[in-house]
Amino acid sequence: MGPPIPPSTVLSHRPPAAATVDLMTDNHRIVLITGANKGIGLATAGELARAGHTVLIGARDPERGREAAAGLTAQGLEARFVHLDVTDPATAAAAAELIAAEYGRLDTLVNNAGVARDWMRTPQELPVEAVRETYETNVFGVVTVTNAMLPLLRRSPAALIGNVSSGLASFSFLSDLDSPVWEHATLLAYNSSKAALNALTLVYARALREEGIKVSALEPGYCATDLNGHSGPASAEEGGRRIARQLGEAGAGASGLFLHSEGGTYAW
């Protein structure tokens, strides 16, 4: 979510590359996407399923999750609903057990589920409870799901984790008083939670690089979704195409990148 911010040049100091993977051309992969029953998550699922992969629709609402998966299977695509509330560790553990029993491994995890509770509210107007709620999904939920899925990702020959972030989390943007979209820098809970997510991305990238598991932050651009009251100029479908493309770039490149929706990378 958020207006486009120009990409930066790619940093020159990178960790050693692990096995490469292009999700749009590689052989069949098992992909789990959280918050995938609608919006950018569902659009990403469609893109990857059409590329020939099995997509697991992670959703906390069983009815909506099954409906989303059914919409893809009706197109002849491989999709399945997996009950997963990222704020509930029990559902993450149960989802991991199901994936282990049915597929034996997980090749790609897309931490897409996210909330924004401060849209059109100033930092001083935002209750601290809303900040906590935002962090429960955008930060703690990512840790919960990632740790639950790591044993399955370790069974993949080329595992990949993509964390859906935002250009609004870039410290370069947040500190730029001359930015033409400076007003978006005052989203206290959302922006700071995505900045925390970026830090998690780098920590996991470093911790897992010796195991060959790549971890990068992805950015769909400012897309019209429920998250922002459908105010973005791009569609959720376009956001899904961007995330699918960035997953390919993340798999083929170094670990620990913050990829830009228009190509290149963001400055952290």
> What's the half-sphere exposure (Cβ side, CA atoms, 13 Å) at 1?
26
3-state secondary structure of 152: helix
190 a catalytic residue: yes
Q: Which is catalytic among the residues 103, 194, 214, 266?
A: 194
Measured over the CA atoms of residue 66, residue 70, residue 71 and residue 72, the dihedral's sign is positive
Q: What angle do CA 246, 145, 64 make, to 5 degrees?
A: 80
Each residue of 168-207: b (16+ CB within 10 Å) or e?
A: bbbeebbeeeeeeeeebbebbbbbbbbbbbbebbbebbee
* Residue 7 CB coordination number (10 Å): 18
Q: Which is catalytic among the residues 38, 103, 190, 222?
A: 190
Strand order in the sheet with 54-59: 79-83, 54-59, 30-33, 108-111, 160-164, 214-218
Residues recognised as catalytic: 190, 194
